[in-house]
Chain A
Amino acid sequence: MSAARTPIRNPAGEDATGKGRVFKAELDRRRFVQAGAAAGLTLGFTPHVLARLNTAGTSSAADAAKSFAPAAYIRIDASGTTLIVHRSEMGQGARTSCAMLLAEELELPWEEIRIEQADGDPKYGNQNTDGSTTVRLNWQPLREAGAAARTMLVAAAAQGWDVAAGECRAEAGRVLHAGSGRSATYGELAAVAATLDVPEKPMLKDKKDHKILGTPRALVDVPDIVRGQAVYGIDVVRPGMLYASIERCPTIKGTLGSLDPEAALAVPGVKKVLPLEGAAQPFNLNAGVAVVAENTFAALKGRKALQIEWKTGEGLESSGAFRDKLQQLVDGDGKPFRSEGDFAAAKAAAARTLSASFHGPHLVHAPMEPLAATAVVTDEGCEIWAPCQDPMTARQRVAAALELDLAQVTVHVTLLGGGFGRKSKPDFILEAAKIAQQMKGTPIKLTWTREDEVRHGFYRAQNAQKLEATLDESGRLTGWRQHTAFPTILSTFMPGATDPSGFELGMGLTNLPYRIPSIQLESSGIASDVRIGWLRSVCNTFHAHAVNCFVDEIAEAAGKDPVQWRLEMLGEPRKLEFSDRDKPYGLDTGRLSAVIRRCAEVSRWGEKTLAEGVQRGFASHFSFLTYVAATLDASLDEEGKVKVHEVDLVVDCGTVVNPDTVRAQMEGAVVFALSMAFFGEITVENGAVQQSNFHDYPMLRIDQMPRVNVEILDSDAPPSGVGEPGVPPIAPALVNAIAKLTGKRVYDLPLTRAGLA
């Protein structure tokens, strides 16, 4: 598949004004005509607000002059068509998928598209690239934007040729009139199209006519990536830039005791040492001391020479005691959030009961690109270049912290070298802006080391769960009780928040899909002394883990095959109504059963003769509105360490935009999940994280990579999440395989704790 050329470039020094559009992707051979140079069409929608369509305008400068200027995803001028992608790219294919949605309806030849990365701006609607929502939220508005533009271009051509619009059609960036053989490019039609009314409900193409959607497309940035030309946040270069590194207090609420900067200032190339105060939520910054220098190495060397004493605080969180507290919580009664039937009665009447407690540690994101941001503060305001998942929140926080108007803060979004939720937090951007504020006029690039990233994260929360099941004489499950306890993500935004929120409990627990006569779900909160954040798949990882492992135990107790048990307990297809971020959604148990059934078929569950010493585990999970089932084959080596050989994964994510991206995300999810299950563990001692780099927070490597087979089920349902749903079923499938290998169930992750990895 040939890739469109859509580079994010870093033309250091080219931009004399310092205010240029460095991260506006541009084709060298098709440079965008600057503001005012040509009349054109700018089109876009704030999601679902067609009435606010911008019908005219030539460029960003012209847009700014229009009071009604809304989001703008398409710009057409004499030089051609530019697609504006407002979601961040971190490897999940956002830039490619958004461009596919626009290009399909706009009838653009894929090989010739050009893309701009949008700055943070409310006119684009929701830019917070998290929750596996890019395609989900933009499937309709981006197609409608493309269709509206196409309709207007056709109308413009028809008007010019004085023929009926119905006699004209758009194709490959042109409008054609079959009767006369006339044709015009979109660029030629843009000025007239801009004067026309925007269709209120533009006609979308039929699925059978799709040329781009549903076909595998390479990510648009691949040509730049393989040439070393892709620009991530850490790669930004600005004229006259200095480099910064920050030594931070080991605890989030600690403060600076004493600082002697002399030795650091004596390091050649070091320009400044700047103490930075910590900040409470929502800014949520560690206290630190920044070293600003002529290059990164000098900044790092200066940082090592700093003489600092921190007041870290006493009696803060330590992982062992934290685990005990979590266990005490789940041993007691929690706050009920879903109750059906009468669990106490089921327990009293049970022929047999099962009980198990599960534990999972804090986890850190470890994207390959650590955090980095470049900021310059001038009398006009603050301009930022950063690999951020959420540029609007970054803008708002910087404006508030620097006491600027929102309009004075610009955030350019670079490529992200991985995100996994970490880069949705603007702390590193705020730090860069605060340093730049004290060095007005000088662009400052702040680079975090790996150690900084591991020690100053927003962690996936350490957690515990207790599960109880009641069975009758025939082994039938009559009752299910599950108590989950973890520090809530809300604590990151609101001081004092401790209770798990509905949306966290909704991730794999409230929506427990099995038909069980009595269900009792409870939660407990606990305060943590580290920052809690979302990490790929969030609470689904531990909820799906406990549910799937416990299901296998119950099936075994009942003498049933675990796949058969799941299908029986799901029963006839039902639509269960839940809500996600206050929006209702349905969980279709028929779709869940379908991925389970298909996964059993493709993996030849129960039929395939596995190699000697190999055992197979199974798990399934619904998350981000997507259904996934997976089998996993594993064995033990001579040292008793687990080796994973093969994973068969079946996914139903509704209508598929880019099947190659779906496959890639599922393959990657397996690796992400196995890294977590094998090694992932952040421990804390008196509020300070003990790990620091890949030697003590290891990742799966290529020699541990299993073969991953992905099947995507055909579906006409609306598109659902892709980036995250592949992760949750993998660890429980692994642990279910281990139970067969060793005869023992693992209740604590990671596997290193039991010597299995």
Chain B
Amino acid sequence: MAIRMKVNGEERVFDIDPDTPLLWALRDTLGLTGTKYGCGMNRCGACTVHVDGRARRSCILPISRLEGREIVTIEGLSPDGGHPVQKAWEKINVPQCGYCQPGQIMSASALLAETPQPSDEQIDGALQVNICRCGTYQRIRLAVHEAAAELAGETDGEAR
């Protein structure tokens, strides 16, 4: 039983075990390895993608539940890495090892889509699902504010 969904704007048909979590379908079947495995149990956020615009953990979402849904992964967030969150991450030099950062960026971009000017508390609330073992949280907060400022068209070009 094939399952159809849109991934990064393209129609995709999955003819694999319908129990397969979206994470592994993206990584192994489509070769979209930007979405990371970290825990497999909705505890670390490394696998965060957008499902119909909302941040979801792909490691616990079987593809059987995603028929007809729209998925966006880190590779599809912007055509060229130019999403304000991606730009802010570069500008603030957020990543260390970088492994959790696609998940952080997907959580942050979903937050800003709903809450364009989040407070620190709102950032913490939305991103506490995402573990960063390298400890880049301070820079993540800064970068979310930076991205929010750019989205509001008031970036001063000198965040740090």
Given known contacts A228-B73, A668-B134, A297 and B21 CB-to-CB distance under 8 angstroms: yes
What is the distance, in angstroms, from B140's C-beta to the closest C-beta of chain A?
A: 6
Given known contacts A226-B90, A368-B133, A702-B137, A92 and B96 CB-to-CB distance under 8 angstroms: yes
Cα A417 to Cα B31 in complex, Å, equals 18
What is the distance, in angstroms, from B39's C-beta to the closest C-beta of chain A?
A: 5
Cα A447 to Cα B24 in complex, Å, equals 12
> Of all chain A residues, which has the CB nearest B73?
A228
The verdict on B7 contacting chain A, using a C-beta distance below 8 Å, is no
Cα A445 to Cα B37 in complex, Å, equals 14
Q: Which B residues, 63 to 84, have Cβ-Cβ distances below 8 Å to chain A?
A: 73-75, 81
Q: Which A residues, 658 to 675, have Cβ-Cβ distances below 8 Å to chain B?
A: 660, 664-665, 667-672, 675
Q: Which of A222, A368, A700 has the most B CB atoms < 10 Å from its CB?
A: A368
Cα A514 to Cα B29 in complex, Å, equals 60
For A660, what are the chain B residues with a Cβ–Cβ distance below 8 Å? 93
Cα A91 to Cα B93 in complex, Å, equals 12
- How large, as a class, is the contact surface on chain A? 35 or more
Q: Are A703 and B128 in contact, with the CB atoms below 8 A?
A: yes
Q: Which B residues, 30 to 70, have Cβ-Cβ distances below 8 Å to chain A?
A: 31-41, 43-44, 46
Cα A419 to Cα B97 in complex, Å, equals 9
Q: Are B96 and A221 in contact, with the CB atoms below 8 A?
A: no
The verdict on A291 contacting chain B, using a C-beta distance below 8 Å, is no
For A226, what are the chain B residues with a Cβ–Cβ distance below 8 Å? 81, 86, 89-90, 95, 101-102, 105
Q: Are B73 and A417 in contact, with the CB atoms below 8 A?
A: no
Q: Are B39 and A668 in contact, with the CB atoms below 8 A?
A: no
The verdict on A173 contacting chain B, using a C-beta distance below 8 Å, is no
For A225, what are the chain B residues with a Cβ–Cβ distance below 8 Å? 89, 95, 98, 101-102
Given known contacts A228-B35, A369-B36, A450-B38, A218 and B135 CB-to-CB distance under 8 angstroms: no
Given known contacts A225-B101, A243-B28, A660-B93, A418 and B134 CB-to-CB distance under 8 angstroms: yes
Binds B, one of A232-240, A342-350, A457-465, A472-480: A232-240
Q: Are A694 and B96 in contact, with the CB atoms below 8 A?
A: no
Which one of A368, A419, A702 lies within 8 Å of B141 (CB-CB)?
A702
The verdict on B17 contacting chain A, using a C-beta distance below 8 Å, is yes
The verdict on B20 contacting chain A, using a C-beta distance below 8 Å, is yes
Cα A229 to Cα B80 in complex, Å, equals 11
What is the distance, in angstroms, from A689's C-beta to the closest C-beta of chain B?
A: 16
For B21, what are the chain A residues with a Cβ–Cβ distance below 8 Å? 297
For A368, what are the chain B residues with a Cβ–Cβ distance below 8 Å? 36, 38, 44, 46, 97, 99-100, 131-134
Q: Are A695 and B41 in contact, with the CB atoms below 8 A?
A: yes
For B41, what are the chain A residues with a Cβ–Cβ distance below 8 Å? 450, 693-695
> Of all chain A residues, which has the CB nearest B130?
A702
- How large, as a class, is the contact surface on chain B? 35 or more
Q: Are B34 and A700 in contact, with the CB atoms below 8 A?
A: no
What is the distance, in angstroms, from B151's C-beta to the closest C-beta of chain A?
A: 16
Given known contacts A222-B89, A693-B43, A700-B135, A91 and B28 CB-to-CB distance under 8 angstroms: no
Cα A90 to Cα B20 in complex, Å, equals 30
The verdict on A296 contacting chain B, using a C-beta distance below 8 Å, is yes
Cα A137 to Cα B124 in complex, Å, equals 39
The verdict on A731 contacting chain B, using a C-beta distance below 8 Å, is no
> Of all chain B residues, which has the CB nearest A416?
B97
The verdict on A269 contacting chain B, using a C-beta distance below 8 Å, is yes
Which one of B35, B74, B98, B131 lies within 8 Å of A221 (CB-CB)?
B98
For B130, what are the chain A residues with a Cβ–Cβ distance below 8 Å? 701-702
For B44, what are the chain A residues with a Cβ–Cβ distance below 8 Å? 368, 450, 694, 699
Given known contacts A222-B90, A234-B36, A416-B97, A701 and B131 CB-to-CB distance under 8 angstroms: yes
Q: Are A91 and B98 in contact, with the CB atoms below 8 A?
A: yes
Cα A237 to Cα B32 in complex, Å, equals 11
What is the distance, in angstroms, from A217's C-beta to the closest C-beta of chain B?
A: 9
For B127, what are the chain A residues with a Cβ–Cβ distance below 8 Å? 702
> Of all chain A residues, which has the CB nearest B121?
A703
Cα A447 to Cα B75 in complex, Å, equals 22
Q: Are A268 and B97 in contact, with the CB atoms below 8 A?
A: no
Q: Are B33 and A296 in contact, with the CB atoms below 8 A?
A: no
> Of all chain B residues, which has the CB nearest A3?
B90
Question: Contact mask A261-286 → B, CB, 8 Å, 1/0?
Answer: 00000001100000000000000000
What is the distance, in angstroms, from B11's C-beta to the closest C-beta of chain A?
A: 21
Q: Which of A92, A367, A418 has the most B CB atoms < 10 Å from its CB?
A: A418
For B20, what are the chain A residues with a Cβ–Cβ distance below 8 Å? 295, 297
Cα A366 to Cα B105 in complex, Å, equals 21
Cα A701 to Cα B99 in complex, Å, equals 16
Q: Are A91 and B97 in contact, with the CB atoms below 8 A?
A: yes
Q: Are A222 and B135 in contact, with the CB atoms below 8 A?
A: no
Q: Are B17 and A298 in contact, with the CB atoms below 8 A?
A: yes
Q: Are A369 and B24 in contact, with the CB atoms below 8 A?
A: no
For A234, what are the chain B residues with a Cβ–Cβ distance below 8 Å? 33, 36-37
For B141, what are the chain A residues with a Cβ–Cβ distance below 8 Å? 702, 705
Q: Are B31 and A12 in contact, with the CB atoms below 8 A?
A: yes
Cα A237 to Cα B81 in complex, Å, equals 23
> Of all chain A residues, which has the CB nearest B20?
A297
Cα A660 to Cα B75 in complex, Å, equals 27
The verdict on B27 contacting chain A, using a C-beta distance below 8 Å, is yes
Question: Contact mask A684-724 → B, CB, 8 Å, 1/0?
Answer: 00000000011100011111010110000000000000000
15 A-B Cβ contacts within 8 A?
Answer: A218-B90, A226-B81, A226-B101, A227-B81, A227-B86, A228-B74, A232-B99, A234-B33, A295-B16, A419-B97, A667-B135, A693-B41, A694-B131, A700-B135, A702-B124
Chain A residues in contact with chain B, CB under 8 A? Answer: 1, 3, 10, 12, 89-93, 218-219, 221-223, 225-232, 234-235, 237, 243, 268-269, 295-298, 301, 366-370, 415-420, 447, 449-450, 660, 664-665, 667-672, 675, 693-695, 699-703, 705, 707-708
List 7 other contacts, CB 8 Å, given A223-B81, A368-B131, A701-B130.
Answer: A269-B17, A418-B134, A694-B44, A699-B133, A700-B135, A702-B128, A702-B130
Chain B residues in contact with chain A, CB under 8 A? Answer: 16-17, 19-21, 24-25, 27-29, 31-41, 43-44, 46, 73-75, 81, 86, 89-90, 93-102, 105, 123-125, 127-128, 130-141
